[in-house]
Amino acid sequence: MSSLREECGVFGVYCKESYDVARMTYYGLFALQHRGQESCGIVVNDDGLFNTYRDLGLVNEVFTADKIDALGLGNMAVGHVRYGTTGNSGRVNAQPIVVNHIKGRMALAHNGNLTNSFELRSELELKGSIFHTTADTEVISYIVTEERLSAPTIEEAVNRAMNRIKGAYSLVIMSPAKLIAARDENGFRPLCYGETPDGRYVVASESCALDAVGARFIRDIEPGEILVFDKNGIRSIKDHCNKQPMKLCVFEYVYFARPDSVIDGACVHEARLRAGAYLSLEHPVQADVVIGVPDSGLDAAVGYSRQSGIPYEIGFIKNKYIARTFIAPGQSSREDKVRIKLNPISSVVKGKRIVLIDDSIVRGTTSARIVALLREAGAKEIHMRISAPPFLNPCYYGTDIDSRENLIACHHSVDEIAKIIGADSLGYLSIDSVKKIACGVNGKGYCTACFDGEYPTEVPKNTHKNRFEEKISSNK
């Protein structure tokens, strides 16, 4: 874990008539690729028949033209891009999950992490449920299916399931007749919907995916809300709304989301500009140039430059054909990718005092390599500034930080970390400032537990990423 790993992206589309929803979903997933690069999948509803394809790899690698054509036409589709925060990275854990039960079919895509998945899975297994994956998404599908046996509708089954599942979840669920979107009561992960000019409804993790398919953003789905799309239009169920304080993951603004997305009323690009400006006020330094680490450090670097008056320059050229470094399994693979992913522009950094802006430091290995690249290019001084506070605590809501063991800030002071990564100085954004970067999400709240340890929910007892694999192994 040399840097922060992200979670997943979900996408869904509902049409009243048959349409090329597979291709439309492909474009939506392509726009959400930054949220997960491990695996992806699409399920198309063709008059009650679910056509499915899932595999490991990037969207454009998995879904060739032939694969998209094979999915056929339909009036609904659900799609998913994954980086696993629970369960291993095998093909079996690719989503969406498809369930065939006595009352019909269901396809489900999930972004987030349940905090009670271990207990729920144990309870289901004792009833005879057989699990094919080791991801908590399958737990959600079982709970919804179990509730559907007695519920009059699929949306009521989802409503009842939300009384049982705890933690972070943004869901897109498809039945033969309905598309359903649901967001957990705290709103940990984003979810929004829009409409195309010809009347097709689209649900996505981020508004950038709506833009990619020509849909007009309508609004974010509220924490605890269930939206139902069917032949009668749209219905909202708010039985779970306003039961818990809003706790959107603040790292959506710092890192996860694309800069052109708008989440819960706040522009991600503007939030990162503010983060850089606050960082300049909190950690000023005499320097010649400000540069950002592509991509998520660039906006904050511009904000730092504007506030400080130090010129901003493009300091690195990024190889656009290399995926996000930390997605690659294995430390040596990640370090190799750092070398070919970023190349400093020597004329910008040679002999200069550099302010280097990045979004986070997890273990410190990637930061050390980036600093070393600048040294090799002739930088005179390197003052690293991070547009988020130090990571001190595990995340249980969909970010792959499952223990304090790999967090460098848990074991070293700021000055010690600066020496470890080779920087002349190091400064982190304060917790107070990070809470203000998106203007308080229109007055609502953030989850900052990974920084301050103030968890909005009960802390789960079984938290290891591969807990289900370990449970299976122990039962052999």
Q: In sequence order, what are the residues at sequence separation of 6 or more whose Cβ sits closer than 8 angstroms to the Cβ of residue 49?
A: none
* Tokens found for residue 78: 């659900």
Question: Topology of 8-244 in CATH?
Answer: Glutamine Phosphoribosylpyrophosphate, subunit 1, domain 1 (3.60.20)
The one-character DSSP state at 312 is: B
Residue 107 near residue 76 (C-beta atoms within 8 A):
no
Which pLDDT belongs to residue 473?
Answer: 46
What confidence tens digit (pLDDT) does each residue in 428-439 have?
999 999 999 987
Confidence of residue 341 (pLDDT cuts 50, 70, 90): confident
Which pLDDT belongs to residue 340?
Answer: 79
Confidence of residue 105 (pLDDT cuts 50, 70, 90): very high
Residue 370 near residue 318 (C-beta atoms within 8 A):
no
Compute CA distances 184 → 103, 122, 241, whole Å: 25, 22, 9
Catalytic residue check, 8: yes
Which pLDDT belongs to residue 405?
Answer: 85
Which pLDDT belongs to residue 6?
Answer: 52
* Tokens found for residue 289: 């140039």
Class of domain 262-452: alpha beta
Q: What is the pTM of this model?
A: 0.90
The structural domains of the chain, with segments of one domain joined by +, span: 8-244, 262-452
* CA–CA gap between residue 312 and residue 172 (Å, rounded): 41
Query: Which of 28, 33, 31, 34 has the alpha carbon at shortest distance from 11?
Result: 28
Counting Cβ atoms within 10 Å, is residue 391 exposed (0-12), middle (13-18) or buried (19+)?
Answer: buried
* CA–CA gap between residue 208 and residue 48 (Å, rounded): 29
* CA–CA gap between residue 476 and residue 77 (Å, rounded): 38
Give me the mean pLDDT over the 183-200 stretch.
97
Peptide bond between residue 415 and the one before it cis (omega within 30 degrees of 0): no
Counting Cβ atoms within 10 Å, is residue 257 exposed (0-12), middle (13-18) or buried (19+)?
Answer: buried
Which pLDDT belongs to residue 441?
Answer: 53
Residue type, 197: P
What confidence tens digit (pLDDT) does each residue in 33-87 have?
999 999 999 999 999 999 999 999 999 999 999 999 999 999 999 999 998 655 5
pLDDT at 420 over 50: yes
What confidence tens digit (pLDDT) does each residue in 278-289 have?
999 999 999 999
pLDDT at 19 over 60: yes
Residue that is written with structure tokens 């899975």 in the block = 121
pLDDT at 476 over 70: no
* CA–CA gap between residue 315 and residue 293 (Å, rounded): 8
Task: Please tell me which residue, 174 or 83, carries the higher pLDDT value.
Answer: 174
* CA–CA gap between residue 365 and residue 335 (Å, rounded): 8
pLDDT at 1 over 80: no
Which pLDDT belongs to residue 466?
Answer: 52
CA 362 from centre of chain: 17
Query: Which of 58, 109, 29, 51 has the alpha carbon at shortest distance from 323?
Result: 58
Long-range contacts of 149-154 (CB under 8 A, 24+ apart): 149/101, 149/102, 149/103, 154/106, 154/178, 154/180
pLDDT at 325 over 50: no
* Tokens found for residue 436: 């203000």
Residue that is written with structure tokens 């989850």 in the block = 447
Which pLDDT belongs to residue 322?
Answer: 64
* CA–CA gap between residue 217 and residue 251 (Å, rounded): 22
Confidence of residue 335 (pLDDT cuts 50, 70, 90): low
- Which of 8, 15, 208, 450 is the catalytic position? 8
CA 305 from centre of chain: 28
Q: Which residues of 165-199 are buried (b: 16+ CB within 10 A; e: fewer)?
A: bbbbbbbbbbbbebbbbbbbbbbbbbbbbbbbeee
Compute CA distances 260 → 32, 408, 447, whole Å: 12, 31, 22
* CA–CA gap between residue 339 and residue 356 (Å, rounded): 17
Counting Cβ atoms within 10 Å, is residue 329 exposed (0-12), middle (13-18) or buried (19+)?
Answer: exposed
- The string of DSSP codes covering 112-154 is S-BSSHHHHHHHHHHTT---S-SSHHHHHHHHHHHHHTTSSSH
Give me the mean pLDDT over the 245-267 stretch.
95
Say whether 41 sits in a helix, a strand or coil: strand
Give me the mean pLDDT over the 369-386 stretch.
97
Confidence of residue 114 (pLDDT cuts 50, 70, 90): very high
Say whether 411 sits in a helix, a strand or coil: coil
Which pLDDT belongs to residue 404?
Answer: 86
